[in-house]
Structures are given as structure tokens and as C-alpha cells.
Amino acid sequence: MNISALPERGLARKPFGRTTDGVPVDLYTLTNSNAMQAAITNYGGTVVTLIVPDRQGRPADVVLGYESLDGYLADSPYFGSIIGRYGNRIGKGRFTLDGKEYTLAQNDNDNHLHGGIKGFDKAVWQAKGSLAGKDPTLVLTYLSKDGEEGYQGNLAVTVRYVLTDDNELVIHYEATTDKPTPVNLTNHSYFNLAGQGAGDILGHELMINADRFTPVDEGLIPTGELRSVTGTPMDFRKPTAIGARINRDDEQLCFGGGYDHNWVLNKRGREMSLAARVYEPSSGRMMEVFTTEPGIQLYCGNFLDGSLVGKASKVYEHRYGLCLETQHFPDSPSKPNFPSTIVKPDEKYSTTTMYKFSIK
Ligand code: BGC
């Protein structure tokens, strides 16, 4: 690659379009010293592009998405977005807290998924780019009002994206509330380390640092069991191609249409630890996911079917991207044995996840 063509470290902003209500949104491009770039819009806090070099130094965009806001407004299965107030499902859109039952928006059959009909992925966030610290940073804030999608409490949310010179995209999530509420924030990027639109992700080799997973029922709601991965297609403790066992006759894979499950990470507490590692052999790109969260959802684009056309006119076919969503476990508000997701007025919600890129 022509060295003089490398983009300079910095932060740039340009218009990205207007919402259907006419609200203008922007695209912020963070560039580090190695020409790695993350372009993020304040519509949904969405990671629109992520440019990462391969083992020859050739850059490619490794996330699925759209070139302009219109694509996201028209139809997006949460490509790259911040998910909230609650990542993944809450069964029947109902939970009980302090003896009172709450009813949430049902947007996935009779379940509540990814925050409801208008989750944080569809909100326009206040944005502030900064180069003042060591690394290019985008700070996004959003006030989720009391009653939004059925949740009580005004929830003030801050998400900070930082791109470091060690090729890490770090995401800090913070929130405070004035009434007790479940909170479970994540990012829904669909990765393809060979480059977006380049094919399916079945050849990606995956390691998940987890001895157990949370099995689900046919509606993808956890049963409450923490089940050992031993002897199942869920055992990714040793790096294994995602496609190696995906067609096995297995009840869990059948319910998910492939992998669409939460793993219980091996860790002591809330420390930042390695959750997963993905390697794509043809490009040599590797991504490691570190998090303070107790769980991670692997979703393999099982619902992509070639009907969405994304950046550079790429058609997103079945399993063209994989999501590794760091999180608390789905349906925790109704599962007393899962780590609690309830945030109280005198507490601060604070989690960090880092996607670190390298080559092998
Ligand atoms: C969920 C899938 C869902 C997808 C939406 C994933 O996080 O686990 O079940 O269909 O998001 O794109």
C-alpha cells in the first residue's frame, strides 16, 4: 500500500443525513496512528465502518452496514448499533421488580428484544468528539425518559468510543437512573474479518472463554439453567471454525437457527477479561473481545437472507456476519439465579468492552 495515502490520526465529522423527523445526524471518523478507522454515527451510536489492515497491511471494512442514514432508517437488523435499555430478550415483555409487574413493548413475537420498538439503536444521541486525551474519542449521551418502552426511571446514558494506537476499539458504557430499572447495554456490530460482504463467517475460527452457556427454549428465552458446554457444539474453549458443527442435529442449534446463544464467561467478578477471540485465516485478521460483563451472545447472522444490500452494494446473505455482544444474560429480570441487571438510583451502571485487532 502507498504509505503517503495512509489517513492521518485524528477525528473528523461530516453530515450523515436526516431522520424522518428532519433531525440532522453526523458521522464521526476516528483514525489512529496505524490507519485503523472507526466511523460512528450519533444515530443509534452506530459503528458504520471499521477499517482494519490484513496481514499484508491491506485495509478492509470489517463490519456490515449502510453508506448513508437512509439505509439504517429503512431496515437494519441492529447493524453496529448501541443496544438498550436491555440487550437481548425479556420473556413475554414482562418482569416483576419490588413486587410490581412491568409490561414492556413486545417486538419479537410476544417477547421484548433489544430495548423494544424504539430502542437506543433508533435514538439520536448528543455527540462530542475529542482529541484532547491520548486517543480519538467520541462521547455520546442520551436521556431515556421514564416510561420509554415500558421501563420506569429517567436513565441518563453515556457511551464513550475510544480508538487506541494498539488497534483497540474501546466502548465504555455508563448510566444513572432516578428509579430502579433493568439496564443491559451492548453493541451489535456484525463482523466479517475477511471484509464486509466478502462471504459467510463459517470459516472464522472462534474461541469463547466459557465452560457454560445459558440454554434457551424455542422462543430463545433462557430456561434458567447454566449448562456445561462439554460434548456440545457450544464448546468453543479450543479455537474451532464456526461452521464445523453448525449443522449438527442439536436442539439448541435448532432453536437458534444456528448459534444465537449467551455464554457464561469464565471469570471471577467484574474484572476486564478475555471473552472471545476470532481469527480469519485468509486475511490473517484476528479480533479479541475483552469485557467487564459476565456474558457474551454469539449471533451468526442466521436471519440475514440476501434481502439487505449494504455498503459498496454488497448483498448480505445468510451468515455473512457474526456478532459478539457482551452483556448480562438475557431475561435476567425474571431469572433470580442470574447476575442482577437492576440499577438503583444510588448506583452507577458502568461497563467496558474492548475489541482488539491484530494479525497472525
Ligand atoms: C439476537 C437475535 C436477533 C438479532 C437481531 C441478536 O442479538 O440474539 O436473536 O435476531 O440480534 O438482529
Grid cell, residue 162, equals: 475510544
Q: What number of residues does the chain have?
A: 360
Task: In whole angstroms, give the CA distance from residue 98 to residue 3.
Answer: 60
Rounded to whole angstroms, the Cα distance separating 205 from 193 reads 11
Q: Which of 143, 127, 216 shows the shortest CA–CA distance to 177?
A: 143
Q: By residue range, what is the domain housing residue 299? A: 205-343+354-359
Nearest atom in ligand 1 to 220's CA = 9
The closest alpha carbon to 140, from 129, 124, 130, 126, belongs to 126
Regarding whether 37 and 101 lie in a shared domain, the answer is yes
Nearest CA among 187, 121, 182 for reference residue 160: 187
Domain for residue 195, yes or no? no
Q: Please report whether residue 199 resides in a domain.
A: no
Could you give the residue ranges of the DSSP H alpha helices within the chain?
69-74, 251-256
CA distances from 275 to 210, 212, 264, 295 (A): 8, 13, 9, 8
Model pLDDT, residue 1: 45
Report how far Cα 46 is from the mean position of its chain's Cα atoms. 10
**Which amino acid appears at position 300 of this protein?**
C
Query: Is 313 a domain residue?
Result: yes
Q: What spacing in Å lies between the alpha carbon of 88 and ligand 1's midpoint?
A: 7
d(CA 349, CA 342): 9
One domain, residues 136 and 94: yes
Ramachandran area for residue 263 (φ above 0: left; ψ -120 to 50: alpha; else beta): beta
| CB 325 near ligand 1, within 6 Å | yes
Question: Is residue 349 a part of any domain in this protein?
Answer: no
One domain for residues 122 and 226: no
> Are both 53 and 182 inside the same structural domain?
yes
Residue 299 CA to ligand 1 center (angstroms) comes to 6
Q: Please tell me whether residues 152 and 81 are part of one structural domain.
A: yes
Which residues on neighbouring strands pair with residue 327, listed in sequence order? 295
Supply the residues annotated as catalytic: 188, 325
| Cβ of residue 220 lying under 6 Å from some atom of ligand 1 | yes
Q: Is residue 196 included in any domain, yes or no?
A: no
Quick one: pLDDT at residue 166? 97
pTM of the model: 0.97
155, 189, 223 — which closes off a domain? Answer: 189
In 169-295, where does DSSP find H-type helix?
Answer: 251-256
Look at residues 159, 189, 219 and tell me which one is the last residue of a structural domain: 189
Decide whether any atom of ligand 1 lies within 6 Å of the 78 Cβ: yes
Q: Is residue 265 part of a domain?
A: yes
What's the CA gap between 4 and 101, in Å, rounded? Answer: 61
Identify the residue whose cell numbers are 468453543: 236
Mark whether 52 and 178 lie in a shared domain.
Answer: yes
DSSP 3-state of 250:
coil
Query: Which atom of ligand 1 sits closest to the CA of residue 77?
Result: 12
My answer on whether 170 and 23 are in the same domain is: yes
Domain final residue, candidates 158, 189, 220: 189
Q: Output the CA torsion sign for 300, 304, 309, 313.
A: positive
Q: Residue 5's pLDDT is what?
A: 67
Residue 87 Cα to ligand 1 middle (Å): 9
Does one domain contain both 180 and 215?
no
Residue 69 lies in a domain: yes
Same domain, 107 and 155: yes
Residue 121 corresponds to which cell in the numbers above?
Answer: 439503536
pLDDT at position 4: 53
Closest ligand 1 atom to 78 CA = 12
Evaluate whether residue 177 is within a structural domain. Answer: yes
CATH of the domain at 242: 2.70.98.10
Co-location of 267 and 171 in the same domain: no
Hunting for cell 431496515 — which residue is that? Answer: 75
Residue type, 194: A
Q: What is the CA radius of gyration of the chain?
A: 19
Total domain count for the chain? 2
Do 42 and 179 lie in a common domain?
yes
Average pLDDT per run of 10 along the chain, which is 360 residues long?
70 97 98 96 98 97 98 98 98 98 98 98 97 91 98 98 98 98 99 98 98 98 98 98 97 98 98 98 98 98 98 98 98 98 98 98
Q: Is the CB of 76 under 6 A from ligand 1?
A: no
- Residue 4 makes CB contacts below 8 A (sequence gap 6+) with none
Nearest CA residue ID for atom 9, ligand 1: 260
Verify that 179 and 45 share a domain, yes or no.
yes
Any idea what DSSP says for residue 231? T
Helices (H), 8-143: 69-74
Using CA atoms in the order 109, 115, 120, 121, what is the torsion angle rounded to 10 degrees?
-30
